Every structure is written in C-alpha cells, then in structure tokens.
Amino acid sequence: MKNTISVRVADFLKNYPPFNELRSKDLEVLSQEIKIIYKVKDAIIFSEDEKAHEHFYVVHKGAVALLKKPNESMVDLCDEGDIFGLRPLMANEDYKMEAKAYEESILYAIPIANFRPFTKSHDGVANFLMESFASNTRNPYSIGRKGKLFQDGPEANDAPKEGSDFLDLQSVNYSKKLVTCTPNTTLKTVALSMTKKKVGAMLILNNKLPIGIITDKDIRNKIATGEFPITAKAKDIMSSPVITYPKKMTLAQAQMAMMKSGISHLCITTDGTPNSEAIGIISKHDIMLELGNNPAVLMKAIKRAGKYKKIKTVRRGIMSLLQGYLRQNIPLTLISKIITELNDACIKQVISIALEKMEEQPPVKFAWLALGSQGRSEQLLHTDQDNALIFEDVASEDLQVTKEYFLLLSKQVTQGLNAIGYEYCPADMMASNPEWCLSISEWKERTFHWITNPGRDEVLLSSIFFDFNRSYGESFLVDELTEHIFETTQKYPIFFVHLASGALQNPSPSGFFRSFLVEEDGAHKDFFDLKRRALMPLVDGARVLVLSSQIKSINNTAERFEKLAELEPNNQELFLACSYATKALLKFRTRQGLLHNDSGRFIALDTLSKEEKIKLKRTFKTIKELQELIKIRFKVANLVG
Amino acid sequence: MISFFKKKKTNYPDFWVHYVEQFQKGLPSELNEVRFVVLDTETTGFDYDNDRILSIGALSLQNGTIEVKQSFEVFLYQHFYHAKNVEIHGILKDERQERITELEALMLFLEFISNSVLVAHHAAFDVKMINEALKRHGMPGLKNKTLDTSVLYKKTLIKSPLLIPQEQYTLDHLAEKFDISTRDRHTALGDAYITAIAFLKIIQKLKSQKNFSAKRFLK
C-alpha cells in the first residue's frame, strides 16, 4: 500500500536514471518494496567475493566508496542518486568490489526481483544499464565531475597502474546544458549570455546543427583588437566548421582531439558529424576537473559553483590534492597555504550563495570570522566549523532587526558549510548562535569582560575566539576589534597569567618513563589524543606569548613561533624547535586523518612505525621546554599556589 | 462486541490478550536485533481529556533498516474537531482519506507494535494520547518500553560551559542539526520518519560516548 514514506522514496528516485524512465505508477509500486538502510561511516555494505545480495543500492544521502583489492584503491565514489551493486545481480556473479560508506549514509535497497521486469519492458532502462556496463561508468549520462578525482600524483606510481588506465579509458562526461545562439545574434548578446552562464564558449546553431563556435579567445582576438566592430553578428567571427565528435569517447581521446586541433572545446553531436544535432560540449576545463589535481582548476570550479552541493564535490578534489602533496613530501607551510586558500574560497563562495538566497541586502557592513584552527590556517582536514559574525553599530532601536537579519544569514551559511562537509560545532560556537553574532560594540564589551574577569570559562572563550581571522566582509571591523583587544590586554596584564595557566592545563603527552599516555576510556580507549596532548599545548603557548608580545595579525602557530624566535634571540632555538614541532605534528595529524578519513585526532599507536614514534616523542621534549618557559615568564606558580 | 466495555479484567478483548502475550518474550540483548517502532500521532489538540487522535504513523526499525512496506499509517474518524489544528496538520475532517474507527486503529496498532521498543519525539505525549484512547475502550495502557528522542538528544550534547542546553528541543531543531529534509512534516508517518533518522544518528553519537551499554540504554 502506498504511504507517505514510499511516496517520499519515489519522489527522490524519479530524478535519477534509470528510474526517470519508469512511469510514476510503476515507480510508486517499486518504492513500496524498498528498504531504507542507515550506515555509519566506514560501515561495509558488501565485501569483495561476497555472494550478491537480493537487492542493489541507490545512495540517498552521503557517499559510498567502491574499493578494489589488493590495496583497497578507490575505483569509484557514489554520490546521491548513484546506483551501485547492480551489475553482479544482472550477471549472477559475486561482488567484484567492496562497498564501504565513505560518509554517514542513507541507502535505498531495491530488490532485484521487483526491478528486473522493468529492464525487459522499458527500453530506456535497458539502454541505461547496457551503456553503464559497457562504458564502465556508473552513470554514463552524468554531467560535470564524475570520473576519478583520485588519480595518483606523478611520482607515486608504486600504486597499480590500472587506476590511471581506468581513468583514461573512462568515457568522458560532457555538459548537456548547451549555451547556443543563431548566426544572426549580435555579439553583445553573445557576450552577455556567456557572462551570465559563466561559460567560455558558445555554439552557433542553424536548425539544431552546429555551424560554428565562439570562444572567449575569439572575442579577444577579433573584437577587442578592432578587427570587427562590436555590432558584428555571431556568424562574422565564429570559428567554422566546428570540430565534432560522437558522445562515446574516452577522456584520453578527448584530450588528444583537443591537442591535435589546438582547441579548447569539442562539440558532441548525435552521430559525431557536423550534420547531426548538437547534444553537448566538452571543454578543457571539464577534462581538467575530471583529472583533478590542480589548484587553479579547483579554484575556478569553486568560483563557478552556484550550489552548495557543487562545492562539496570540489572539496573532495581538494582532499585528493592534499593527499598527493603529502605523498610528494612538499613542505607543510606550502601545502597549508594552498589548501587554506582553497578552503577559504569554499567558505567565501558559501557566503556569496547564502547572500544571494537572502531576500534583502545586508542592512550594514559586516565581517565573517573564522575561529579556532580555521582562523589559524591550520585546518587541512574537514573539522567542525567555528565562526562568528561582527556587524557595524546601528541605532539601538534598529539593533533587534539588524541582528535578526544577520542571524538568518548566518543560519544559511552554517547550513551551507554543513552541506559541504563542515560539521556543526558541538558547542554551538557559530554565528547562527545569537551569542556569536554581535555588533562591533557588543563584541568589544564581550571581549573586555573576558579579559577583565578571567575565570575558567572566560579564558576558554578567549583562547578560542582570539585566533579569529576574517574570511569574508569588511576588514576595518576586524582590525577595530583586534586593536581593542590589544589595548585592553595591555591595561589588564593579569589576564596573561590566566591565559598562560590555561595553556598549561593540557594533559601531558608522555608518562614518567617517556611512554605515550593513551586515553583510558571512551570510544578512543588506548588511542593517543594527538590534538589535546601534543598540538594544543603548542597552540595555546604560542597564543599567550604572541598576545603578550603585542604581535598582531599572525594567527598561524608555526609562524607565531618563527616571529617569536626573531624577537627573542636568546630563546631562538626553542621557538624554532616549537615551530618545527607544530608543523611536524600537523603533518602527522593530516596524514593520519587522510588515512582514516577522519579528523586525525586520535592515533592508534600500534599502527606507527618506530621512526614515527621517535619523531613524535622528540616533539614532546620541545613541548615540555615551552611549558617551563611559560610557567616562569608568567609566574603561573604564584597563581596556582 | 459489548464485552469491550465491561471493565472486568478477565474480559479484555482477544486482540489485547494477544498483545499482552507478546511480552512473555524478552527483548534481545543485542541492539541490532531489537525491533524499534518509531511513531507519531497527529491530534486535534493537546488536551488529553478532550482532544482526539486524527492519525497514527509508525514504522519499524531494525538493525538500521526501515522496510517501507512495514510501515503503518491510519487516519481516524473523529467527531471532535478544532479548526485551528487543521492549519498545522493539514488534515481536513472531510478530506477524502480512507478512515477507520478509533477501535479499529488501536487493534491494528497493537498488532503492529507487538512488544517492540517504542520511539517518539516527546514520547510521553503520544503514549498518553494512545493510552487515553485505549482507556475509552476499556483497556489499560501500553506495555512497551518507550524512548524519547528529545531526551536522548540532550544526552548527545557535549557538556561545555559555552553551551547552554535548552529546556526543549523540537523535531525541527533535530531535523536541522542532522540535516534531515522536513518535507512531510506534520503528517504522522512523515514525522515518524524524521524521528527515525534522527534516532539512528542519536544512537550513533551515544554509542561513541564513554560507558555506553545497550542494556542500560533500553532500561
């Protein structure tokens, strides 16, 4: 019997092939037979050589990785709406790959017995399956990303080569959203439409047949140079004839074709000749994006993204880039600069999208602050979002309305950030919380209170908040607040003593015999807490030293230590060691995080090599020395005693 | 049929006796094997004495899996009606939805839930509404173990001086935090589905806490 849930399931499926080929009645009936399965991250859905289940799967939420032995290389990553585990059912085989939840996921399990009749009665369904099996892609009709973002870095070819062959032979995904015009369209219209749709090329169609193409380059070379007047028509400057290809071509073929003819766009037609209907276009950008591994391409993709979901896809590309960099042992300072830049761009884009979604423009100027690790540019992996918002002062009668506007905006942004992979802050330290969305005067008052009443909570709040960094909006608001904080701390130096004592609160990394201290209970029993026991003492130490030395606008912990080394020649050695330790630990954490697809905070010691353990222990010595220095400099003992 | 209304204990209707018998079996000790029934009721209002159930939606959840076929959705005939509630639930009294009597609904519901663990958001309200309906037909209250997602959710929140917990967390709040689509909100089965997904995510969070035990969880 049809019910609310089956209708909900059907409503989702009807948007994705091959279910879009089914009549809505049939889909309703099929939806009633479905099971909805919740899988936590890393849960196995089926393993290699396991006997095929009675149903295949569609990803409703989250993502599922398909992995292949011997080294668990990722063959495919299935997103919302993607099908997996169908081929073995059709071919009566065992599973050839392992399917594992890449994120927390909700799956629809569709019984093959109920689905099989459609593969016979509906040509569209049958064709889809044929094509997807033949082309070895899960969804031959998909546009945009898809393909493999997980190509190995150039030097890392100890990994099996089949991965990259697989990629080259993968059929190319072309954009089906054609931007076209007629031969008599004026160039101004062409340029406006290209700008609006954010594309680099426009097809000129005559009765659906492609007769020419205009790219950015044509406009530059032929109009801006004065060769043609701005009043010219599309047909005057278009490149003709168009180079056309059939839709079944591989990535490698597409790349070759572009290189051969020195062009950046290929037109796809029904039969591959210019005498049939144009159905799509492949740009060099599309191909670059599929190959991933290029910050410039990723950056462009972020700026083009009009939806949160698109950014999420790009972020996976960023992760694979990071992985490649680490494998190539590129210095962490450089890695974190690039990755932070890309992450910042993602956040900016989320805020721009959120602003567009708002009905009105912001009533006054504002700034969006990243706090914590994001503010310190130390966030390489997906972690929680910590953020805050400052807006300009308004008349007291307008404060309520203004705040409501920014809270609404912040809610949009935090939801967007959540959608692209930043978990909500468990302590609700986000701009969507009225406590963290304040006018500049309110912020000044708040920070003044923290500094002059340094209780336990106030010190904790300060240590999180004082690493703020602007990610969007007006910098004068941020500067004003920074200035205020420095002035206030100078007037109330006792604050530093409290901040310093807070910095010494972190538990020690090693025990009496220099053995690692591991967690004693909880979900991470017997794991080493890298963040709390090793990174935090360095981060907290750097903060109090930098604040008390009145060093402004350096947020990154390693850079803070470098600056301190410069200012205090007699402690130079220690501070440089601290800077090195911070980088080493961060790199360590990032590696561990990528390995386990988590935040890298907790480390299973038995998975470390002896060399890694020694490296780790060496940083502990530095941490101890740093803590001694802080204890003496701020006379923390007095306070405790 | 008259016997339904006699209040003598020995004369409970067969379906009730059958329902009670189910409890002779204990619950499995493994959380994966326990069958949860996640439910929600839509009512004419919040007054236990005067308001009535308009619809019950419930689904069965076992080992992280919801079978669409195994869901329960009934709409009831009720004479008592508040116009203002129609706005919330969108259930119109004369909307052409197949309707059954309260007694039929209770019979089907007891059959569906059996001895499963009940889960609902603000469970006390739904259970009380159902118990009042049972009472009107001469039966004692539900015997199932009950879990409340609003209470469980509070347990997932970290203890931090920076986080001031609220008194109440609405289903909308949970849906937002867990990124669950709120379409079908304010239909009984739609709300039950949102509750179910939130419940799965809550269990996951609780499991990662110190000293989690399935036994205590189900107590």
Neighbouring C-alpha atoms within 13 Å toward the C-beta of B116: 21
Percent of chain A topping pLDDT 90: 26
Give me the pLDDT at residue B177, please.
87
Model confidence at A31: pLDDT above 70: yes
Closest residue of chain A to B162, computed from CA coordinates:
A427
Model confidence at A395: pLDDT above 90: yes
Give me the pLDDT at residue A292, please.
58
Query: Phi and psi (nearest 5°) for B164?
Result: -95, 110
Give me the pLDDT at residue B65, please.
94
Flag the least confident range among A83-97, A142-156, A202-216, B205-219. Answer: A142-156
- Closest CA of chain A from B165, distance in Å: 10
Give me the pLDDT at residue A368, please.
95
Nearest to A9 among B68, B73, B157 (CB): B68
Neighbouring C-alpha atoms within 13 Å toward the C-beta of B96: 0
Give me the pLDDT at residue B88, please.
56
Helix (H, G, I), strand (E, B) or coil at B186: coil
Here the tokens at position A586 are: 């961060």
Give me the pLDDT at residue A279, please.
83
A55-61 and A83-84 beta bridge pairing: antiparallel
CB crowding A384-407: b at 16 or more within 10 Å, else e: bbbbbbbbbebeeeebeebbebbb
Asked if B189's CB is within 8 angstroms of A3's CB, the reply is yes
- Closest CA of chain B from A525, distance in Å: 9
Give me the pLDDT at residue A171, please.
60
Mutate to test the interface with A, among B69, B153, B185, B197 (most CBs of A within 10 A): B69
Give me the pLDDT at residue A511, please.
66
Give me the pLDDT at residue A538, please.
93
Give me the pLDDT at residue A381, please.
77
pLDDT band at A331 (very low <50, low <70, confident <90, very high): confident
Between 3.40.50.12780, 3.40.50.2000, 3.30.460.10, 2.30.30.60, what CATH number should domain A293-445+470-476 receive? Answer: 3.30.460.10
Torsion of CA A252, A254, A259, A263, to 10 degrees: -160
Give me the pLDDT at residue A293, please.
62
Q: What is the mean pLDDT of residues A380-385?
A: 78
CB crowding A15-51: b at 16 or more within 10 Å, else e: ebbbbebbeeebbbebbbbbbbbbbbbeeebbeeeee
Model confidence at A641: pLDDT above 50: no
Asked if B210's CB is within 8 angstroms of A523's CB, the reply is yes
Instruction: Return the number of CB contacts < 8 Å for A and B.
Output: 83
Q: What is the distance between the alpha carbons of residues B131 and B140, in angstroms, rounded to a whole number?
A: 7
pLDDT band at A152 (very low <50, low <70, confident <90, very high): very low
Closest residue of chain B to A428, computed from CA coordinates:
B163
Asked if A461's CB is within 8 angstroms of B189's CB, the reply is no
Residue A59 CB burial class (10 angstroms; 0-12, 13-18, ≥19):
buried
Averaged pLDDT score across all residues of chain A: 83
pLDDT band at A638 (very low <50, low <70, confident <90, very high): low
Give me the pLDDT at residue A161, please.
34
Q: What homologous superfamily is domain A180-290 in, according to CATH?
A: CBS-domain (3.10.580.10)
For A437-467, the pLDDT digits (tens) are: 999 999 999 999 999 988 888 888 888 888 8
Give me the pLDDT at residue A135, please.
52
β-partners of residue A61 are: A106
Flag the least confident range among A164-178, A510-524, A564-578, B192-206. Answer: A164-178
Flag the least confident range among A31-35, A288-292, A425-429, A551-555. Answer: A288-292
Q: What is the mean pLDDT of residues A242-266?
A: 77
Residues of A in contact with B200 (CB under 8 A): 38
- Taking the CA atoms of chain A, what radius of gyration do you get in angstroms? 28
Asked if B207's CB is within 8 angstroms of A523's CB, the reply is yes
Here the tokens at position B124 are: 């006390």
Model confidence at A236: pLDDT above 60: yes
Residue A556 CB burial class (10 angstroms; 0-12, 13-18, ≥19):
buried
Give me the pLDDT at residue A165, please.
37
The dotted CATH code for B10-18+31-153+168-217 is: 3.30.420.10
Q: What is the mean pLDDT of residues A477-490?
A: 92
Q: What is the mean pLDDT of residues A581-587?
A: 89
Mutate to test the interface with A, among B153, B162, B182 (most CBs of A within 10 A): B162
Nearest to A461 among B67, B73, B162 (CB): B162
Which fold would CATH assign to domain A4-134? Jelly Rolls (2.60.120)
Asked if B193's CB is within 8 angstroms of A5's CB, the reply is yes
Residue type, A25: K
Give me the pLDDT at residue A521, please.
66
Residue type, A553: S
Model confidence at A469: pLDDT above 80: yes
Mutate to test the interface with B, among A9, A32, A38 (most CBs of B within 10 A): A38
Give me the pLDDT at residue B92, please.
53
Q: What is the distance between the alpha carbons of residues A174 and B40, in angstroms, rounded to a whole number?
A: 46
Flag the least confident range among A24-33, A317-326, B68-77. Answer: A317-326
pLDDT band at A172 (very low <50, low <70, confident <90, very high): low
Give me the pLDDT at residue A147, please.
37
Instruction: Identify the residue with better confidence: A228 or A439.
Output: A439
* pLDDT tens by residue, chain B, 219 residues: 555 555 555 678 899 999 999 999 888 888 889 999 999 999 888 888 888 899 999 999 999 999 999 999 999 887 655 555 555 555 555 555 678 899 999 999 999 999 999 999 999 999 999 999 999 999 999 999 999 999 999 888 877 766 777 778 999 999 988 888 887 888 899 999 999 999 999 998 888 877 777 777 777
For A99-128, the pLDDT digits (tens) are: 999 888 999 999 988 888 888 787 778 777
Helix (H, G, I), strand (E, B) or coil at A48: coil
A201-206 and A180-181 beta bridge pairing: parallel
Residues of A in contact with B57 (CB under 8 A): 4
pLDDT band at A143 (very low <50, low <70, confident <90, very high): very low
Model confidence at A634: pLDDT above 90: no
β-partners of residue A469 are: A370
Model confidence at A499: pLDDT above 80: yes
